[in-house]
Structure 1
């Protein structure tokens, strides 16, 4: 039964309306009349009507003012306006303020009044359904486990368009954020995620992800105000629910929370991260759009200069296509770069290795460090290093000595291209030292191993027995005798073997002329190089190159 209150200063009008039809039979209860706006306000608390029929033109507080006050104080009460021809301007204002409809007094009859009352009832019933749904959603959200909340949030941001799927998901989460009037999504990327997890099992990767989500949520506090969820490939999101409408205040608050999240990830898990905040929105149905604007800002974030790390990106940063002098984005190492790195490692050429690292890092310095492309390129560099190590050392032994290299978990602390380049330099320096140690190893004594290690480091330049002896603190004559006993060749012969071995690798690369190679491997004259090469290999350098042609032809696509 819907309760109806009439407010009109004319008793005659009240008498007509009260006797137009059987109110109870039609589902209504006529609860009384008020003859002024002031009297009506006094009756509201006690009578609690569902519908108020209000005369527009009353002395004192007119119907327009009364309707405005009712909308503010009792928004659930539906209002119907009574008017004459000459006060339609007032009626129009009431309709704008939320009145259901209006009735002209001189045309009032049973059918018209029941029709308008029916409209009011439909509005009330619809509001009841919405409120019931909201309360049910709130109850469900309050009992939802965090893992389910995060799953629903992630589904919501992946849902495109304004289809039923998105609306249903948003409706199911509406009660999760009580009192929220605005929302925003932030995208956060664990910078080295793909590199860190490359060798992980699925369970190890899942454990890292869960740890990251847990650390983030602990930093964010109440899940009903700020929610962390995992998306994919080291990308996480945070949903912010704001209780005030100011965009500026909300965004400032979100940036403050994201700063805490970054600090916690670095402190607790040794993980550097970068984030971007998306456009604020008024509804959960728009959360996907907010998140995508954050991802766009994140994945086109500005270049990070040496030694300076930018962790905060906002949705109004210029997109990549808007930035001047943008270079071509790389996605992988070239085959030539891989060949050159492998050759430099096999030749123990530290200078060339450092040049290659600088060149590769320089070519991707304009790309986001967290991008899959940059991490793929770094992964290929490391795989090339692994290949050189396993080629030089048997696989079981290679697995053992790899523990002596800088651990890849250190990549988690890298936050800039400058830091990445420095880490790669130290990694390949350590790898090169391993390769040198392997070549100098075997059954040799400590002094001979030290001498061989010195030769491997210096063979590209001038080197003699006296220099090596001085470096390890031995008499040259004693070292010469010891060296020949253990290696079965004299010092100069051993140096030449190392140089010719390096020359063969350079010839196989097909990158340099024979004369260029002779100087690169430490020979002062081409003629002497030619003579030594033939003595040790049984053929001239040019004949050696010719012998490689059939193999090269077979390897061509």
Structure 2
């Protein structure tokens, strides 16, 4: 397999070349490129099988390169290289056919090799990745024809499928709580569940006209339906819903699993199958945010607001900066805002959200066993909760270890402030408590901690106030007094300055 590496950072190119035993894995690096224009020249002259493509490069960025690759007729698989805060660009690249993406700061040999091996296997076995178009070729089986049909190859569908070009729908379904369900089966025989699902679906569809079935991977399967004998859209949709109900009942009865379905709009010709597949995939991804429904229709899916992706990227960049500065309090505050944004806007799919969390853990240098087990949830809420536990522990440990870097006096001052933040604190009081001059303790604190004592005290008080604001038993002026402020006006001023919103706005947002 021939590899082209396109990235404007020499260290990234060197790292990719060095980290993998290319020859031993039956692969060869045939070229390198440092900008988009050079990348297109290399693709045209070298005809690589796989291109590692940086999303942001001089002259032409990765998106422009991929668009021109299509125009050139290149069938090379594209693996995107990005930063954590390039999600908007990554999503566009995936729509253009990228097979996967890696965040450069967190990519490792095992993940890269696994993806390349999978592509290598697909090349030799005629495997399938619906997002990646490829040149037409004689189909070796019904499954291959269906795969080609989902890429938009109408000819093979007319030649060998049971479908007619009328009232066509694409259904995708997956098993809920797959990670838990698969544990029922012997570790060495993970294929039993998907094979059983195949048999059940084949039995159900055996009684139906104009249907086809294709297993996409162990977790996701596709059912294609046409309705040439039905005269109305309503009748076609009723048939689709009936079939979904029949499949749901059969899977529950015979395998005791719950399925979730994503259903495309209808299409009048095979040329719509590629779009239908993308629509069904978008619909199925809604389960990541809404675990209760079992059926999602693309027709009712709200398109992702581009501004939410931009906001997500901005917040991710801010989180990265906070981690670089070692400001874990600020990092966790921004993380909370990012999580609320993503959950409200539903702007990331499961893979994208997981990679963000994994990247953050990488930046925290968190490689403990429980960190590796994080992210076992199947919904955004579950995923966030599992990663948050690891992040909370990691940041707490780093805060504790950084405390050791301070002098004994400042460590003791910090502990005192954390215990007595509700009291009327002053430099004079601290000086008397620790038997030093007020100027000395003030100067040393700012020198070691990076901010003044009273700024630090206010940060503690506001953090405590945020927790109390979630409890509606307390009025805002009561909370101000509880955390050590002498007036509600002063409390509100400090709260607005440190959080960007008023106490009342924060309470309403949390509620």
TM-score, normalisation: structure 1: 0.38
Structure with greater helix share of residues: 1
Larger radius of gyration: 1
